[in-house]
Structure 1
Amino acid sequence: MTSKPEITKLSDTVSVSPQLELSDVAALAKAGFKSIICNRPDDEAGDHPRSAAVAEAAQQAGLNFAYVPAVSGAITDQDGEKMSSALADIPAPVLAYCRSGARSTKLTEMAQAKPAKTPSTSSRFNVVIVGGGSAGIATAASMLKRNKTISLAIIDPADDHYYQPGWTMVGGGAFSAEFTHRKEKDLIPRRAQWIKSAVRSFDPENGSVATADGQNIGYDVLIVCPGIKLDWEAIDGLPETLGKNGVTSNYRFDLAPYTYRLVKDLKDGTALFTQPPMPIKCAGAPQKAMYLSCSKWEKQGVLGNIDVQFHNTGAVLFGVKEYVPALMEYVERYDVHLNLESKLVAVDGPAQIATFEQKRGEEIKRVEIKFDMIHVVPPQVAPDFVRSSPLAAESGFVDVDPDTLRHVKYTNIFALGDACSAPNAKTMAAVRKQAPVVAVNALAALEGKPPIADYNGYGSCPLTVERGKVVLAEFGYGGKLLPSFPNWLIDGTRPSRLSWLLKDTILPPVYWHGMLKGREWMVKPHRIGAE
């Protein structure tokens, strides 16, 4: 752990520590802990991570989380009862923390002196949406626009909301990081109730969701869209060197500005760009980072001094063949060394060495490459609480019918976005198309009716091949091209300045003021059986 808090073992099931940092959470999981309890109030003085941020980090690490705040010097019997309930509801071993560890110790002693209480059960809703990202908010807004009388709750622990497609542009110097950020509280639809907690488990047989803070939330219809887990730990040595030693990634809000700083400062040397196995969100983003970097180096007149390498675990540059010729023109223009079937497995930050496993025929070779900068895209998997649930397909993602996005077993459960098993590209454009489909199908399910709309697998990937030009890839299931504009206006297979305008100027306000408000511009749900 980065900050190495001093852990005191109170029993076989509970340990305590002083204040945790977010960087400690993954190491706690590695150390064998199953759960974290925060006993420090969010509004207590001091510069410490808020409970929602720790809950989100815990969820990413596969840990349960409970928030049981207690005021220093004023601990009550009720606080002890809440601690008792929390310890009964989450799996051991548990790490409880506060500012110094003293409150956690006291609360644990009080809890263990009392019989455990059963978890609280909060009210039931017509619709419960798991995930307050783009998919959850867009679907909620679309449903509430159609039916203002339903009760609807969104479960999500995060304080912050991000326009993640903008992070590529931040790494390329076109957007500021703050341009992509809003507060979650400002985006939750007015008639939706925000349950600010992480989900622990699903009980589809009884129609309820259990949260990390001990609530059981009942539903008539459930919509699951918590996003995807970025598995930084899967690459040996990566977590501890991110943000320093020339190691960066546009897949994190705080690191995208570091990408641009590295690019601006690099005048010669070796620059590596990597892509992990599929599925990942925005399959074009790994190479977008490379193209925008090369465009900057070209303008600075230093591109010829830099050995640019693209290492893709896959066997092709891009999964839809119609877009490959235009992309290859830029690979050749920037003199990029293209390495297919080359998987990043380790990063030694201080030594600036990346290790790849490269498939060459039937042989797997292990190759070490010295770098001056490396842009890493982590492997990505379904969130742990989804992967271990009865909702999961063999892939770990929520098992849905790809056309209706309804669960294959449970007719009152739907999923969309990065967490669902549909074989579409995991992009923001896909979510924008999916949300209205799920909205009308979920409303139909509330009335006991079958789905009425279908989804064609549409996804879009605006490939930023240079500053000012984009190859606008739009396609659906099976790689079928699904252009939104006539060919004379935008030929998606060729780089276009108009497509850059779309990416740079038009899509951000469409996201904030259209999609998240339930305005379905150009994405009205397609009725099943209609032309």
Structure 2
Amino acid sequence: MTATALRAQINWWRGCQRAYDRTGYQYFHTTNQTASKEHVKILVLGGGSGGVAMGARMKRKVGAENVAIVEPSEMHYYQPIWTLVGAGAKSVESSGRPTASVIPSGVKWVKSRVTEVNPDTNSVRTDSGKEISYKYLIVALGLQLHFEKIKGLPEGFEHPKIGSNYSVKTVQKTWKALQDFKEGNAVFSFPNTPVKCPGAPQKIMYLTDAFLRKTGKRSNANIVYNTSLPVLFGVKKYADSLWEVVKARDLTVNLRHNLIEVRADKQEAVFENLDKPGETNVFKYEMLHVTPPMGPPDVLKGSPLADEAGWLNLNKETLQHNVYPNVFGIGDCTNLPTPKTAAAVAAQSGVLDRNITRIMKKSQPDKTYDGYTSCPLVTSYNTVILAEFDYNGQPLETFPLDQSKERRIMYYMKADVMPHLYWHGLLRGLWGGPGPYRTLMHLGMK
């Protein structure tokens, strides 16, 4: 065998074998030419907050060698902090860490993208050609951003004065547009689809107002929030407080307005009036923040795991799939009727941990998810309204005080405490939401 042929043989073998990297976790790597099959007891699809949290929890249940996480991204981001990044209060660097550093040690990392899920054969296929079979499947694939569904995007981001806090590629453009603002309209949109963190589109509006006041430009600005929703916020207690903020700061809110086109070269945003089909309104802007339409991952849409809308079809209380009893889900990819937030993921992780354990022991799920979610509504650079509520839109507040009021302490929780809980609690499978603390603080009363 020639030296060249020998090197080729060695490289081929390296591409097929399992290896350990310097962090101590395993990963699979193959190419289409070396497609192979693997089996794992618990397979987690997605390495976002829900996937990593459940990977850590399942590692403690069945051992790291029996768990694998499929995730193609090299970086993991704490996305809730992007609200503050877009307003210049945090750096984008602080929001990300290498995926290698958050995958639980010893858990197999499949560095690929899922292309097909076959629950009837208990297997998935990845873009590397690998087929992985499983005994239990946890789907945590997140959702997709669809900037392309707005005419003129995403190419419009090549122009100045437009940004979005929903992508690491565009969040710093929001801050740049805010810094460069001189006079005119600052326009903020909310799409006619489910979104993750539905409070975020208006948080940046409040921060823009605060920044322009601080820099002496507020008198030259007209701040406009155009939302497709018929309400400012879905829970009346917090909506009432937000309307007070809107009126006190002279902000303009247009309900049932949906962004359909951006003419970035002309600095124009076109909105359709959802209550009057065919009617559109054009807004000139000096600054535009876009919240894109969002939807389920392509691999779920049309699959046996999806409901009619393409979202993962779960029992909203047990988080078990409605058709396949060995399939479970968590986070943004699910059809759970609650806002898609990191706080919801935390609460779901504790419920899912318990119920999967019961299923593995041939028992029935006995823990119920009540729809708890939280939205820290940032209203300035030092105040937050901390909204917490359940499936029924009823407040489910942790602290024994009225959380519908703007408070400084809640801002520090949002900016400093919650990131720490995320990195060192949720992702390590140690934080399942504030339920126990709520019970303690309310002396056992809801």
TM-score (normalizing by structure 1): 0.75
1:131-530 correspondence to structure 2 within 5 Å: 131-148=46-63, 151-360=66-275, 362-487=276-401, 491-520=402-431, 522-523=433-434
Determine the C-alpha separation between the residues in 2 that align with 1:493 and 1:485. 11
Q: Deviations over 1:119-147 (max 9, x none)?
A: 4212x111000000000011111222344
Determine the C-alpha separation between the residues in 2 that align with 1:132 and 1:74. 36
Contact 1:236/1:347, CA 8 A, preserved across alignment: yes
Q: CA RMSD, aligned part only? A: 2.6
1:120-139 correspondence to structure 2 within 5 Å: 120-122=36-38, 124-139=39-54
Q: Deviations over 1:83-129 (max 9, x none)?
A: xxxxxxxxxxxxxxxxxxxxxxxxxxxxxxxxx9894212x111000
Question: Secondary structure at the residue paired with 1:308?
Answer: strand
Indicate the structure whose relative CO is greater, using CA pairs within 8 Å and at least 6 residues apart.
2
Q: Which amino acid aligns with 1:520?
A: W
Contact 1:249/1:375, CA 8 A, preserved across alignment: yes
Question: Secondary structure at the residue paired with 2:89?
Answer: coil
Q: Deviations over 1:246-282 (max 9, x none)?
A: 1110001132222122212213111110000231000
Match of 1:55 in 2: none
Question: Secondary structure at the residue paired with 2:250?
Answer: coil
Offset at residue 75 of structure 1 (A): 10
Determine the C-alpha separation between the residues in 2 that align with 1:463 and 1:523. 18
Contact 1:429/1:459, CA 8 A, preserved across alignment: yes
Number of matched pairs: 420
Q: Would the alpha carbon gap of residues 370 and 454 (structure 1) be closer, same or farther in structure 2, given more than 3 Å must change?
A: same
Q: Which amino acid aligns with 1:428?
A: A
Determine the C-alpha separation between the residues in 2 that align with 1:418 and 1:294. 30
Question: Secondary structure at the residue paired with 2:224?
Answer: strand
Determine the C-alpha separation between the residues in 2 that align with 1:78 and 1:232. 43
Q: Deviations over 1:22-65 (max 9, x none)?
A: xxxxxxxxxxxxxxxxxxxxxxxxxxxxxxxxxxxxxxxxxxxx
Q: Deviations over 1:392-436 (max 9, x none)?
A: 001211000000010000000001100011101100100011112
Determine the C-alpha separation between the residues in 1 that align with 2:48 and 2:282. 38
Determine the C-alpha separation between the residues in 2 that align with 1:73 and 1:367. 66
Question: Secondary structure at the residue paired with 2:279?
Answer: strand
Match of 1:25 in 2: none
Question: Secondary structure at the residue paired with 1:517?
Answer: coil
Q: Would the alpha carbon gap of residues 511 and 154 (structure 1) be closer, same or farther in structure 2, given more than 3 Å must change?
A: same
Determine the C-alpha separation between the residues in 1 that align with 2:80 and 2:334. 19
Determine the C-alpha separation between the residues in 2 that align with 1:524 and 1:207. 34
User: Comparing 461-470 with 249-258, which one deviates more in the overlay?
Assistant: 249-258
Question: Secondary structure at the residue paired with 2:204?
Answer: helix
Q: Would the alpha carbon gap of residues 194 and 325 (structure 1) be closer, same or farther in structure 2, given more than 3 Å must change?
A: same
Offset at residue 301 of structure 1 (A): 2.0
Determine the C-alpha separation between the residues in 2 that align with 1:382 and 1:152. 24
Q: Which amino acid aligns with 1:357?
A: E
Offset at residue 151 of structure 1 (A): 0.4
Contact 2:228/2:274, CA 8 A, preserved across alignment: no
User: Comparing 370-379 with 256-265, which one deviates more in the overlay?
Assistant: 256-265
Determine the C-alpha separation between the residues in 1 that align with 2:433 and 2:146. 34
Question: Secondary structure at the residue paired with 2:231?
Answer: coil
- Ranges in structure 1 where 5+ consecutive residues have no aligned partner: 1-71, 81-115
Contact 1:313/1:343, CA 8 A, preserved across alignment: yes
Determine the C-alpha separation between the residues in 2 that align with 1:407 and 1:441. 12
TM-score (normalizing by structure 2): 0.89
Q: Which amino acid aligns with 2:311?
A: F
Q: Would the alpha carbon gap of residues 126 and 336 (structure 1) be closer, same or farther in structure 2, given more than 3 Å must change?
A: same
Offset at residue 340 of structure 1 (A): 0.7
Question: Secondary structure at the residue paired with 2:392?
Answer: helix
Contact 1:243/1:255, CA 8 A, preserved across alignment: no
Q: Would the alpha carbon gap of residues 373 and 441 (structure 1) be closer, same or farther in structure 2, given more than 3 Å must change?
A: same
Q: Deviations over 1:160-193 (max 9, x none)?
A: 0000000001011211110101000011001311
Q: Would the alpha carbon gap of residues 329 and 158 (structure 1) be closer, same or farther in structure 2, given more than 3 Å must change?
A: same
Offset at residue 216 of structure 1 (A): 0.7
Contact 2:343/2:374, CA 8 A, preserved across alignment: yes
Determine the C-alpha separation between the residues in 1 that align with 2:378 and 2:205. 9
Q: Would the alpha carbon gap of residues 256 and 149 (structure 1) be closer, same or farther in structure 2, given more than 3 Å must change?
A: closer
Contact 1:220/1:446, CA 8 A, preserved across alignment: no
Determine the C-alpha separation between the residues in 2 that align with 1:435 and 1:227. 14
Contact 1:436/1:524, CA 8 A, preserved across alignment: no
Q: Which amino acid aligns with 2:248?
A: R
Contact 1:436/1:525, CA 8 A, preserved across alignment: no
Equivalent pairs: percent with the same residue? 37
Q: Which amino acid aligns with 2:262?
A: V
Question: Secondary structure at the residue paired with 1:454?
Answer: coil
Q: Would the alpha carbon gap of residues 120 and 144 (structure 1) be closer, same or farther in structure 2, given more than 3 Å must change?
A: closer
Determine the C-alpha separation between the residues in 2 that align with 1:469 and 1:118. 55
Determine the C-alpha separation between the residues in 1 that align with 2:6 and 2:82. 44
